[in-house]
């Protein structure tokens, strides 16, 4: 029952602490205890967790949770980001109201994401995926303003509509399964049953990719991201971009590689359409980020682009592409989480929401700006950071696939996107550290800009941890890829 305890503990304990009338200091101590105990339970599940079946939905379909290499990898990322963002939130939420409500849904969403990681079959995955949507929506809604309500509803409608397409795919795939009660590396379809029904299966699998891809910001279903991020508190934005949107990626992986099997769609119109949409999303997201002037909205469009690197790697349907996608899942989670937390510092300390307002802040908060810079370099793909090795794997996988123009386009798109990413992130760093003298700027104003406004350790330490994680993905990426490749050799 270890997986069930890992899922339920943060939901129950986090809600209980939020519901009890306590002073702020005591409540935060208890939140910390809840997070650390959840981390401990999660690590025990990673190393010692077994399959657990709760109840039956129908014949041969159960509510089942199990531990496999993909789930372990996603769980570790979830716990890393949640732990860092919790301590950051203790400081940031001082400028927000209803802190206890925020943390209640914070921990509820944590449990939901852990359930996504541990879901043992397609039906269980769908239910957990929807729970992740319902528990994360209040994080967007938190301010309760007209804009927040509109953004939360947009996020909810997009996510539920996408999940329904995913549910359609799950229904059909389970119908043609030999045994749909457990995920199987390479798929669980019954060859005898699918004979003559390949076209139907291809259509519903493509619908499932689009549906679950909505959560991951796949173009043109990306609209919720740039709407939700600017209005949500910075910790919620970091979670949405860093790890919650990745639930859509996990669902796609489970559908394509653990249910249908890559052989069914390799070389078909589904693969080429999937690759085309991923490349279009990479390019469009980068272009929109390049033009955007609001800091958090620019980072949101960047997420649209960067998560589709993962989708592109998966669409290659090869082990090299899959490993590149998994490495980028980790590199993007920690790098973009760090960038959104930096944006939160700019709001918390300076009240700055726009990129143009960040000129000269390198002297005020050098630690924050150096973290922003290193995380940006990771997304651009500069070695030895994580974003480089993940893109390297994806580019090599595309070139080696022998698919004609579809072997050439991915590296070209990756290169163009890298240049655009450098164009919308690195000028922020340059202007922050080398602002020059503004026209007519007084000595007093320049002195104020030079005054240190570095935030407390509650904010800076999580940034440093996430930057170190981005570096670790780069330095140990080959080792991570080897471990995943060995554990998931049955996918191909």
Q: 127 pLDDT exceeds 80?
A: yes
Q: How far is the C-alpha of 67 from the C-alpha of 7, rounded, in Å? A: 13
Q: Is residue 238 part of a domain?
A: no
Which pLDDT value is given to residue 404? Answer: 81
pLDDT score at 128:
95
- What confidence tier does 442 reach under pLDDT thresholds 50, 70, 90? very low
Return all residues near 253 (Cβ < 8 A) that are at least 6 apart: 70, 314
477 found inside a domain: yes
CA angle 119, 120, 123 (to 5 degrees): 75
Averaged over 328-347, what is the pLDDT?
95
Q: Is residue 111 part of a domain?
A: no
Of the pLDDT bands very low, low, confident and very high (cuts 50, 70, 90), residue 451 is: low
Of 53-62, 83-92, 114-123, 144-153, the one with minimum mean pLDDT is 53-62
| Block residue for tokens 């949409």 | 277
Antiparallel, parallel or unpaired: β 61-65 and 52-58: antiparallel
Domain extent at residue 472: 285-492
pLDDT at 258: 96
Residue-level pLDDT at 453? 80
Among residues 254, 252, 177, 265, the alpha carbon closest in space to that of 218 is found at: 252
440: exposed, middle or buried (Cβ count in 10 Å: 0-12, 13-18, 19+): exposed
In a domain, 366, yes or no: yes
* Mean pLDDT across 408-436: 91
Least reliable range by pLDDT among 55-59, 73-77, 477-481 = 55-59
Q: If pLDDT is split at 50, 70 and 90, which confidence band does 56 have?
A: confident
Please indicate, yes or no, if residue 353 is contained in any of the structural domains: yes
Give the sign of the dihedral formed by CA 181, CA 79, CA 298, CA 354: positive
Phi, psi torsion values for 107, nearest 5 degrees = -75, -30
pLDDT of residue 178: 86
Q: Indicate the Cα dihedral angle 264, 268, 271, 272, nearest 10°.
A: 180
Residue 249 included in any domain:
no
What is the pTM (predicted TM-score) of this model? 0.94
Q: What is the pLDDT of residue 402?
A: 75
- Better-scored residue on pLDDT, 164 or 449: 164
Structure-block tokens of residue 395: 């580019």
Which pair of tokens denotes residue 44?
Answer: 């025990």
**Both tokens of residue 462?**
């999580």
Cα 25 versus chain centre, distance: 30
For residue 151, being part of any structural domain is answered with no
The structural domain count of the chain equals: 1
Give the C-alpha separation, 245 to 268, whole Å. 27
- pLDDT tens readout for residues 209-246: 999 999 988 888 888 888 888 888 999 999 999 999 99
pLDDT digits (tens, 9 = 90+) for 201-211: 999 999 999 99
148 is a domain residue = no
Q: 76 falls in which pLDDT band (50, 70, 90)? A: very high
pLDDT digits 0-9 by tens, 283-292? 999 999 999 9
Report CA-CA distances (Å) from 439 to 358, 449, 474: 16, 15, 42
CA 272 to chain centre: 24
């Amino acid at each position: 029952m270890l997986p069930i305890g890992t899922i339920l503990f943060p939901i129950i304990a986090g809600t209980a602490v939020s519901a009890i009338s306590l002073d702020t200091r005591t409540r935060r101590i208890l939140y910390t205890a809840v997070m650390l105990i959840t981390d401990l339970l999660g690590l025990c599940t990673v190393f010692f967790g077994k399959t657990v079946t709760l109840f039956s939905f129908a014949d041969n379909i159960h509510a089942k949770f199990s531990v496999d290499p993909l789930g372990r990898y996603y769980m570790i990322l979830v716990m890393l980001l949640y732990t860092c963002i919790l301590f950051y939130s203790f400081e940031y939420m001082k400028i927000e109201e209803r802190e206890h409500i925020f943390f209640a849904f914070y921990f509820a969403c944590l449990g939901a994401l852990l359930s996504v990681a541990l879901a043992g079959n397609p039906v269980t995955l769908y239910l957990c995926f929807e729970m992740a949507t319902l528990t994360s929506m209040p994080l967007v809604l938190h301010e309760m303003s007209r804009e927040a309500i509109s953004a939360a509803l947009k996020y909810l409608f997009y996510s539920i509509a996408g999940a329904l397409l995913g549910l359609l795919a799950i229904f059909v795939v389970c119908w043609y399964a030999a045994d749909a009660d457990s995920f199987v590396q390479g798929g669980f379809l019954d060859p005898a049953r699918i004979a003559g029904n390949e076209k139907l299966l291809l259509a519903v699998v493509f619908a499932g990719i689009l549906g679950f891809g909505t959560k991951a910001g796949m173009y043109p279903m990306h609209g919720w991201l740039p709407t939700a991020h600017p209005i949500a508190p910075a910790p919620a934005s970091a979670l949405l971009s860093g790890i919650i949107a990745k639930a859509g990626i996990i669902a796609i992986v489970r559908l394509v590689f653990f249910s249908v099997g890559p052989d069914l769609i390799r070389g078909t119109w589904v693969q080429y359409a999937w690759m085309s949409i991923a490349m279009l999303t990479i390019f469009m997201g980068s272009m929109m980020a390049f033009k955007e002037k609001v800091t958090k909205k620019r980072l949101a469009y960047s997420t649209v682009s960067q998560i589709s690197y993962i989708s592109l790697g998966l669409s290659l349907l090869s082990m090299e592409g899959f490993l590149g996608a998994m490495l980028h899942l980790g590199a993007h989670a920690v790098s973009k989480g760090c960038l959104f937390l930096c944006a939160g510092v700019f709001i918390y300390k300076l009240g700055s929401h726009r990129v143009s307002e960040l000129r000269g802040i390198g002297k005020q908060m050098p630690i924050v700006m150096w973290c922003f810079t290193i995380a940006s370099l990771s997304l651009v793909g500069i070695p030895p950071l994580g974003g480089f090795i993940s893109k390297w794997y994806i580019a090599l996988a595309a070139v080696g696939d022998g698919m004609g123009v579809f072997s050439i386009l991915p590296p070209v798109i990756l290169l163009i996107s890298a240049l655009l990413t450098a164009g919308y992130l690195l000028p922020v760093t340059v202007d922050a550290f080398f602002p020059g003298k503004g026209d007519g700027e007084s000595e007093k104003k320049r002195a104020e800009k030079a005054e240190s406004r570095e935030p407390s350790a509650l904010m800076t330490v999580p940034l440093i941890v996430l930057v170190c994680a981005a570096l670790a993905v780069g330095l140990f990426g080959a080792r991570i890829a080897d471990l995943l490749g060995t554990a998931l050799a049955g996918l191909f």
